[in-house]
Structure 1
Amino acid sequence: MIGEPDTQNISKNERLLMSKGVKITKPRLLILELLQQSSTQHFSAEELYRLLVSNGGKVGHASIRRILTEFCAARIAVRHHFSPNRMIYELSSQNDHDHMIDVHTGQVIDYNSNELIELAKKIAYAQEYELADKMLVLYVKKAPL
C-alpha cells in the first residue's frame, strides 16, 4: 500500500527501532550495530564517537549522546554510572548479569552468579520481602599472585 513502510525489505535492526518507536536513521543504525558487535563491551559516548570516526562515520558528540538517551528511554540500551565522571552504555539484554569494576583500570566485567541470586532472595525473605530485581556492582582489584 502507498505510504506504508515495506516491512519485507527492512533489516532486523530497523525492525527493532520501529518496534520501540525510534525513528530509523543512519546514525541510529550505526550506533546500534556498534553496540551489537561488541555485546560484552561497555562504551562511553566518547568511545562510540571514536569508533564511528575511525570507521568513517560522521556523527557528532551531541548526536551520539542524544541517540544513546533515546535508546535508554526505549529500553534498547542501559546506562550505568559506575564512577562519578563516566557514564557507560550496553545493550539491554534478557540475560541477568551484574558487573565488576577493576578499581585500577576501570574495566567493566560482566558476571552471572546463581549463588548470589539465591542469597539475595534469602536476604529479602528474611526481611519479609520478595526479591523483585537486583543490581550488584563489585569494585575489585587483581589478587596478588
Structure 2
Amino acid sequence: MAYANKLKDDLDDALREAGLRVTRQRAAIVKVLTEAEDHPDAHEVHRRASEIDNTVSLATVYRTLAVLSDKGIVHRHAFEGAPARFETADAPHHDHIIDVDTGAVVEFASAEIERLQREIARQHGFEVVSHRLELYCRRRKDKR
C-alpha cells in the first residue's frame, strides 16, 4: 500500500510541477494509472476514469498523460499500428510482445536478451544506456 501511495504522490507532484492542480478529474486519472495492470490507451484511461468521476473529459486525459509522460513518470508506448498506450515508469525494466492480431501486450524480461544486447553494443564500441524491445508476434497455430 505504501508503494501505491508513493507512486500516487509522484504522479500528483509531477502535475503540480507542470502547473496543473490535482483536481477530482486528474485524481481519477492518477488512480486509473496506479491501478492499471495493463497498458491502456487514452480512450481506455478515459473510460476507466469516467467510472470514478463522470466529469472527466478526454481532453483532460490527453493533457494529463502528456504532462506525466514529459516528466518521465509515465511511459508512452507507440506500438506500430495502434494508439499510444501508457504505463507508469516505476516498474522494473521489461520488454513487450505485441499480438498483431489482437493488440494484446505481454510484458517479459529475459536476462539472456539483456546480456546479448550489452555484448553486441560492446562489440561495436558502445555501452547500452537505454533500450526498448518490442516483438510483434502472432500466436502459433501449432503447439510446438
Question: What TM-score bracket applies, with the shorter chain setting the length?
Answer: 0.7 to 0.9
Alignment map for 1:30-109 (pairs within 5 Å):
30-38=28-36, 40-109=37-106
TM-score when normalising by structure 2: 0.83
> Do the aligned partners of 2:41 and 2:86 also contact (CA within 8 Å) in 1?
yes
Q: Do the aligned residues in 2 keep the contact of 1:77 with 1:92 (CA within 8 Å)?
A: yes
CA offsets 1:66-90 (integer angstroms, 9 cap, x no match): 0100111122211111024411111
Offset at 1:13? 5.8
Question: In the aligned structure 1, how far is the partner of 2:9 from the partner of 2:38?
Answer: 23
Unaligned 5+ segments in structure 2 are: none
> Could you tell me which residue of structure 1 aligns to residue 25 of structure 2?
27
Structure 2 counterpart of 1:117, one-letter code? E
CA distance in 2, matches of 1:53, 1:88: 18
Structure 1: gaps spanning 5 or more residues: 1-10
Contact 1:98–1:112 (8 Å) recurs in 2: yes
Which whole-Å deviations, capped at 9, do the CAs of 1:89-137 have from their partners, x for residues lacking one?
1111241111110011000111111110000001001111111111100
1:112 aligns with 2:112: no
TM-score by length of 1: 0.82
Segment drifting more, 80-89 vs 101-110:
80-89
Counting only pairs closer than 5 Å after superposition, residues 133-144 of structure 1 correspond to structure 2 as: 133-144=130-141
* Conserved? CA contact 1:13–1:29, under 8 Å: no
Match of residue 131 from structure 1: 128
Q: CA deviation digits over 1:21-67, x for unaligned, max 9?
A: 253222222111111112x3001111111122234431111111001
For the pair shown, the structure with the greater C-alpha radius of gyration is: 1
For 2:85, what is the secondary structure of its paired residue?
strand
The structure with more helix, counted as a fraction of residues: 2
Cα distance in 2, alignment partners of residues 126 and 109 from structure 1: 30
CA RMSD, aligned part only? Answer: 1.9
